[in-house]
Structure 1
Amino acid sequence: MPGFVVAEADYDEAMALFLSPLRLTQLNGNLGPTLTALPPTHPLFADMTHLGLRNWHISGLVDIEDTRSHVSFMPRLTHLSFEDGRFIPHCTYILETCRLLHVLISLSFDSELSLFPDELEDLSRDPRFVVMQNGWHLQDWQMGIHAGVDYWTRAEDFIAKRRCKEIDPLGYKISGDASEYIAARYASSTG
């Protein structure tokens, strides 16, 4: 199974037990405190390569330092995204400790990013760090399944261009990402 999304749903330990036998490689959603309640070696995370943390901070029960440590020990994690700008100061730690991590995406708003200029300057030196917007999570995931293009692949392409200096190697922000394209494509296919 290439991935699983429960849009706008919260994951709890019962959901984790249900999902564990599926051997997921991708998961996007609000894992909340469930993420750190389970060990990084739990079967839910055993094959996980792509993890999108959506709205996980809203519950107020999530400790950012516990989260960063937890994802650092996930055995196969290569792609991580998050929506909360308060996670920015912890990105350097994640990039240093997650040896397999190829892509780290901040889906934070500019107003959140502006609070961390020093951290962003440091992060700009690591081509794996990307900032982009993606307001159409479910549609983006569907496009990834059907067309092979989603926010993960857009970030991978951007990183490759940074590494070969096709674009500014210190530029970490994808401006005008495909959210508008996804919205237009989704609207034309449904109506």
Structure 2
Amino acid sequence: MDSEPLFPPEIEREIFETTALVHSGTIFALLRVARRVLIWIEPLLYRVIRVGHENSSMVRALVDALASKPPEFVHHAVRHLGLDSIYSPCTASEGRQLLALCKGLVNFGSTNGFTDPLLLPLLAEMHVQRLALNLVDLFGATPIDLAHPLFRSVTHFDIFGFDGIVEVLPDVPLLPALTHLCVNSHISRQMLLNVLVDCPRLRLLLVQWHSQERDSYDLARAHHEYDARFVIGLYGDYWAEWEAGARGLPDQWTQGDDFIARKRNGEIEATRYWLE
């Protein structure tokens, strides 16, 4: 039986939704409070989906659950999808089925085991703003095409791997909405600086080194006054950070933006370009 509301519905809804968003672990308990709360909160249960080794066995159940919902529900509910484990029992086919259901995505990330040319038409139907994947795996045997419709709304692009990136860097200005770009540490610094010259609307070009490359990263930090938008940093658990960003917490993008703002405000010396 539905419990009687204590506050006006709009205030009560805001309280429950804020609680669910800030403390996602409470969602299952909140779903049992009252039917009206279930209607408000259930979409938030699916707002961020990260498929990793620990929960990949649930993907089939997740696909079935979403397939049973009205398309409008899924469209508005699932906003962030990360397929993060190449060792996952979840198959590439199941990953594609999940992606095909989530037509309202704004954020999609995928490791090599889930990335192939079959994703191209699925992504082209969406308006993804944040994208993280390997371009060579995505396009397969066909040439990488940054003019492909899937890129038309991408603002934040994290390109995994090294193969094929150097060849397409001159095409980065073709991405009409791009403001943030992240690449790995094995690309020529001068090539990256050329990208910044050719793409003035780019706000951040982040070069990420894995924490296991700490020694090389330290050697790369000689003082030099580069373009303020050029930043290098370390990462540890990439997908944990991806999920944090999807949930509105600090991530690589917000840290990079904050670093650049502090540098331009004179809080950081002009010759520093590395994140701690």
| Residue 127 (structure 1) shift | 0.9
Could you tell me how far apart the structure 2 residues matched to 1:67 and 1:114 are? Answer: 27
Give the 3 Å change call, closer, same or farther, for CA 11–37 of structure 1 in structure 2: farther
CA RMSD of aligned residues (A): 2.5
Q: Is residue 2:130 matched to residue 1:26? A: yes
Rg larger in structure: 2
Q: Secondary structure at 2:197's aligned position in 1?
A: helix
Using the alignment, how far apart are the partners of 1:23 and 1:113 within structure 2?
38
Name which structure has the greater RCO, CA cutoff 8 Å, separation 6+: 1
Q: Deviations over 1:69-91 (max 9, x none)?
A: 12232111110001132242311
- What residue is the counterpart of 2:181 in the other structure? 80
Residues 1:149 and 1:2: Cα distance change in structure 2 (over 3 Å): farther
Other-structure match for 1:140: 241
In the alignment, what sits opposite 2:157?
51
Give the share of equivalent positions with the same residue, in percent.
Answer: 26
TM-score norm. by structure 1 comes to 0.76
What is the aligned length? 166
- Structure 1 gaps, min length 5: 176-191
Contact 2:129 2:153 in 1 (8 A): yes
Consecutive unaligned residues of structure 2, counting only runs of 5 or more, are 1-104
Moved more, 88-97 or 38-47: 38-47
In 2: Cα distance, 1:169 partner to 1:163 partner: 8
Letter in 2 for 1:42: H
8 Å CA contact 1:48–1:77 kept in 2: the answer is: yes
Letter paired with 1:30: N
**Structure 2 residue aligned with 1:100:** 201
Query: Which residue of 8, 16, 20 maps to 2:120?
Result: 16
TM-score w.r.t. the length of structure 2 is 0.54
Name the CA distance, whole Å, in 1 between partners of 2:188 and 2:254. 22
2:53 aligns with none
Residue 7 of structure 1: how far off its partner (Å): 3.5
Separation in 1 of the partners of 2:123 and 2:152? 12
